[in-house]
Chain A
Amino acid sequence: MSIVSTTDLKRVYESGATEVKAVNGVSLSIEAGEFAVLAGPSGSGKTTLLNLIGGLDRPTDGSVHLDGELLNDKSDDELTRARLFKIGFIFQAYNLVPVLSAYENVQFILQIQGVPDSKHEERIMPLFEELGLSGLAHRRPGELSGGQQQRVAVARAIVGHPSIILADEPTANLDSESAVALLNLMHRLNLEQKVTFLFSSHDKKVIDIAQRVISMRDGKICDDHKKTQ
Chain B
Amino acid sequence: MMILRIAWRNLWRNRRRTQLTMGAMIFSCAMLVFSLGYYDGFLWSLINNATEKENGHVFIALPGYYASPTLEDACPEAISSQIPENVKSEIKGVCPRLQAYALLSCGTEEENRTQPGQIIAVDYQAELANSKLAGDIVKGDFLTGDAREILLGQGLARKIRADIGSEIIFFSSAADGSIASEILLVKGIFSSGENMRDSSLAIMNLKAAQRLLALEERVHSHRLFLRNPMQAEEIASRLNAAQKSLEATPWQSIFPQIADILKIWLGVQLFTVAIYYAAMALITFNTMYMAFLERMHEFAVMQAIGLTRGLLAMLILCESIIMATASGIIGTAIGAGANVVLFYHPIDLSRWMESITWGGSSIQPILFCVPSLLSNLLPLLAMILLGFAVAALPTWRLYRLKPVEALREG
Count of chain A residues with a beta carbon within 8 Å of a chain B beta carbon: 28
A sample of 10 cross-chain residue pairs with beta-carbon separation below 8 angstroms, ordered by A number, consists of: A51-B404, A56-B404, A57-B404, A80-B303, A91-B407, A100-B6, A104-B5, A112-B306, A112-B307, A160-B306
B199–chain A nearest beta-carbon distance, Å: 73
Q: A108-B2, A109-B306 are in contact. List 9 more A-B contacts (CB 8 A).
A: A54-B304, A56-B304, A77-B308, A80-B307, A84-B305, A85-B306, A95-B297, A95-B304, A111-B1
Task: Indicate if the CB atoms of B9 and A83 lie closer than 8 Å.
Answer: no
Q: Is the CB of B305 within 8 A of A99?
A: no
With a CB–CB cut-off of 8 A, which chain A residues contact B297? Answer: 95
Contacts of A104 in B (CB 8 A): 2, 5
* Residue in chain B with minimal CB distance to A140: B9
Which one of A51, A81, A99, A100 has the highest number of Cβ atoms from chain B below 10 Å of its Cβ?
A: A99
A225 to B403, CA, bound (A): 31
Q: Total interface residues on B, using CB and 8 Å?
A: 24
Is A76 positioned at the interface, with any CB of B under 8 Å from its CB?
yes
B302 at the interface (CB under 8 A from A): yes
Is A99 within 8 A of B403, CB to CB?
Answer: no
Complexed CA–CA distance, A84 and B308 (Å):
9
Q: A95–B301 contact, CB under 8 A? A: yes
In the bound assembly, the distance between CA atoms of A154 and B308 in angstroms comes to 21
Type the 1/0 row for B39-62, where 1 means its CB is closer than 8 Å to any CB of A: 000000000000000000000000
Residue in chain B with minimal CB distance to A92: B407
Bound CA span A147–B53, Å: 82
User: Does A41 touch B at the CB level, under 8 Å?
Assistant: no
Q: Any chain B CB within 8 A of the CB of A156?
A: yes
Task: Rank and list the top 5 A-B pairs by shortest CB-CB distance, nearest first.
Answer: A84-B306, A99-B9, A95-B301, A57-B404, A56-B404
Most buried by B among A54, A56, A81, A113: A56
A129 to B265, CA, bound (A): 67
Q: How far is the CB of A153 from chain B (nearest CB, A)?
A: 9
B5 CB contacts on chain A under 8 angstroms: 100, 104
**Closest CB-CB distance, B299 to chain A, in whole Å?**
11
Inside 8 A of A100's CB, which chain B residues have their CB?
2, 5-6, 9
CB distance from A168 to the nearest CB of B (A): 9
Chain B nearest CB: distance from A12 CB in Å?
Answer: 14
Interface centre among B9, B304, B308 (most CB of A within 10 A): B304
Tell me what chain B mostly uses at the interface: helix, strand, loop, or mixed.
Answer: helix
What is the distance, in angstroms, from B20's C-beta to the closest C-beta of chain A?
Answer: 20
Whether a CB of chain A sits under 8 angstroms from the CB of B13 is yes
Q: Which of B296-331 contact A (CB under 8 A)?
A: 297-298, 301-311
Main secondary structure of the interface of A (DSSP, over half): helix
The contact of B10 among A80, A83, A89, A99, by CB within 8 Å, is A99
Give Cα A65–Cα B9 distance, bound, in whole angstroms.
38
Specify which of A76, A89, A93, A111 is in contact with B304 (CB 8 Å cutoff).
Answer: A89
A72-116 CB mask vs B (1 if < 8 Å, else 0) is 000011001101110001010101011110001001110111000
- Contact call A99/B309, Cβ cutoff below 8 A: no
Is there contact, CB below 8 Å, between B309 and A80? yes
Minimum distance in angstroms from B26 CB to a CB of chain A: 23
Q: Which listed residue (A80, A91, A112) contacts B301, Cβ 8 A?
A: A91
A99 and B303 within 8 A (CB): no
- Interface members, chain B 272-308 (any A CB < 8 Å): 297-298, 301-308
Most buried by A among B1, B5, B306, B307: B306
Of B1, B302, B308, the residue contacting A81 (CB under 8 A) is B308
Scan B221-235; emit 1 where CB is below 8 A from any A CB, else 0: 000000000000000
Bound complex: CA A91 to CA B300 (Å)? 12
B154 CB to closest chain A CB (Å) equals: 69
Which residues on A sit within 8 Å (CB–CB) of B310? 77
- What chain B residues lie within 8 Å of A84 (beta carbons)? 305-307
Known contacts A56-B403, A57-B404: A83-B2 contact under CB 8 Å = no
Min distance, Cβ B338 to any Cβ of chain A, angstroms: 36
* CB neighbours of A80 from chain B (8 A): 303, 306-309
Complex Cα gap A56–B306 (Å)? 10
- Asked if B304 and A81 sit within 8 Å, CB to CB, the answer is no
Question: Which of B9, B311, B404, B410 counts the most chain A CB atoms within 10 A?
Answer: B404
Most buried by B among A85, A97, A107, A160: A97
Chain A residues within 8 Å of B303, by CB: 80
Contact flags (1/0) for B1-34 with A, using CB distance below 8 Å?
Answer: 1100110011001000000000000000000000
A98 to B403, CA, bound (A): 18
In the complex, chain A residues whose CB is within 8 Å of the CB of B6: 97, 99-100
CA separation between A112 and B6, bound complex, in Å?
13
Contact of B306 among A83, A95, A98, A107 (CB under 8 A): A83
Determine the chain B residues whose CB is within 8 A of the CB of A112 once the complex forms. 2, 306-307, 311
**Minimum Cβ distance to chain A for residue B386 (Å):** 24
A51 to B9, CA, bound (A): 30
Contact with A along B91-105 (1 / 0, CB 8 A): 000000000000000
Complex CA gap A113/B308 in Å reads: 11
In the assembled complex, the Cα of A91 lies from the Cα of B410 at a distance in Å of 12
A128 to B13, CA, bound (A): 26
Chain A residue nearest to B312 (CB atoms) is A80
Closest A-chain residue to B304, C-beta based?
Answer: A89
* The one of A76, A89, A93, A98 that contacts B305, using a Cβ cutoff of 8 Å: A89
Rounded to whole angstroms, the CA-CA distance of A81 and B308 in the bound complex is 7
Which residues of A sit under 8 angstroms from B404, Cβ to Cβ? 51, 56-57
Whether B13 and A83, one on each chain, are in contact in the complex, defined by CB atoms closer than 8 angstroms, is no
Chain B residues in 8 Å Cβ range of A98: 13, 298
